[in-house]
Amino acid sequence: VERTSVTPSSRWQRVLTVAASSLADNEREAVLGDLTESATNGATALLQIVGLTSRRQFARWRAWQPWVAGLGIAVPAAFTTMGASLSLSRRAVTHNGAPLMVLVASAALLLAWSWSCGRALRAVSPRTVGVSVVLALLPCLFCTLRFRDTTLPVISLLLLMPAFLAGIRGAERTQHSRTPALLLAISITIGIALLGVLHIAWALPAWYLAARARDDGGRSRA
Amino acid sequence: MIGEFEYLILAATSRLGDNAYGASIRSMIETVADRRCSVGALYTTLDRLEEKGLITTQFGEPTAERGGRAKRMVHLTSQGIAAAREFYAGISRLSVGVTWSAPA
């Protein structure tokens, strides 16, 4: 089989590399190498890569994990984030008899809880975090634009959603050492019980992280 | 039992021997079998064949002709050879006496 080798322009190489970024490292190298070797032009190569990544995405969504991460964690957490943000910001503005310490503790609890949700989401379905992030941001952006309530973006979009995203985008490892994971879960549970800013069920993501924590210090498994 | 596209990949892999990898298999299917073979179809089918134990794959060393990128080398297993042989035998038996004349 005769083949010629043509290197696509550096601009196309960059586009193709970005398009193939969701593939595993080895597979990305092999696919880009195949397309280079077969002298496939830039646009056709892009279509080929999009075709492969689409097939990979569809295959992932045949499992239950992406659905739990997207519809079971990301979307409910986004709505809960907005509700808690609204409640907290109103209490902060009106004070409503709440001591400053309670407001600060509530904010800290919500930050830790947002981070634990993001982390749990990544642990459940690490390959579909992009879709989960979009699912988490959409309700927040929709409500902000629809109701034009400026208290939502201030806390939800600027504070809690970044914490949520930091949990997702943080260190590559999806398992943590047992002691910090247990301390986080216990702190969030006690915080929710005492402060009442969230339903107690929202301690579950932190307990999920604690349950799958390792004794050996949480070495990378990604 | 394997499908037609899976058979094409197994046959191309067998013909290419130690030179069987993504681009060469794809090129052979398109030029010899005159069938379209997208990268997506090829790589997802390679995964499926590997899960079935009909092939093994490994990533080779980077080469200059591929822009310094590695190849995914493909090797047939004994189960893969048996499955391809069975598929071919079935098609051959079924084709005996078939004239492919157009209906009147």
pLDDT tens-digit map of B7-51: 999 999 999 999 999 999 999 999 999 999 999 999 999 999 999
The tokens describing B45, both together, are: 């089918």
A194 CA to centre of own chain: 27
Chain B interface includes A59 (CB < 8 A): yes
Chain B partners of A35 at a C-beta cutoff of 8 Å?
A: 23, 39
Measure the CA–CA gap between A153 and A156, rounded to whole angstroms.
Answer: 5
Taking residues A87-101, report their average pLDDT.
71
Opening angle at CA A112, ends A108 and A118, nearest 5: 145
- Render pLDDT for A10-48 as a digit per residue (tens, 0 to 9): 778 888 888 888 888 889 999 999 988 888 888 899 999
Chain A interface includes B24 (CB < 8 A): yes
Chain B interface includes A36 (CB < 8 A): yes
How large is the ipTM? 0.85
pLDDT given at position B49:
96
Question: Pick from B28, B32, B67: which is nearest to A7 by CB?
Answer: B67
Residue B44 and residue A7: Cβ atoms within 8 Å?
no
Burial degree of B63 (CB within 10 A; 0-12, 13-18, 19+): middle
- Render pLDDT for A53-67 as a digit per residue (tens, 0 to 9): 999 888 888 889 999
Chain B partners of A37 at a C-beta cutoff of 8 Å?
A: 23, 65-66
Asked whether residue A220 carries a pLDDT value surpassing 50, the answer given is no
Between the ranges A159-173, A204-218, B55-69, where is the mean pLDDT highest? B55-69
The pTM assigned to this predicted structure is 0.65
CA of B30 vs chain A CAs: smallest distance (Å): 10
Chain A partners of B72 at a C-beta cutoff of 8 Å?
A: 26-27, 30
B15: closest chain A residue by CA = A1
Taking residues A189-212, report their average pLDDT.
86
Q: pLDDT band at A5, cuts 50/70/90? A: very low
Most B CBs within 10 A among A34, A38, A62, hence the mutation to make, goes to A34
Chain A interface includes B17 (CB < 8 A): no
Asked whether the beta carbons of A31 and B39 are under 8 A apart, the reply is yes
pLDDT given at position A221:
41
More confident residue, A11 or A157: A11
Chain A partners of B24 at a C-beta cutoff of 8 Å?
A: 1, 3
Chain A interface includes B89 (CB < 8 A): no
Please report the number of interchain residue pairs, chain A to chain B, with beta-carbon separation below 8 angstroms.
80
B59: closest chain A residue by CA = A26
Taking residues A114-127, report their average pLDDT.
85
Asked whether the beta carbons of B87 and B3 are under 8 A apart, the reply is no
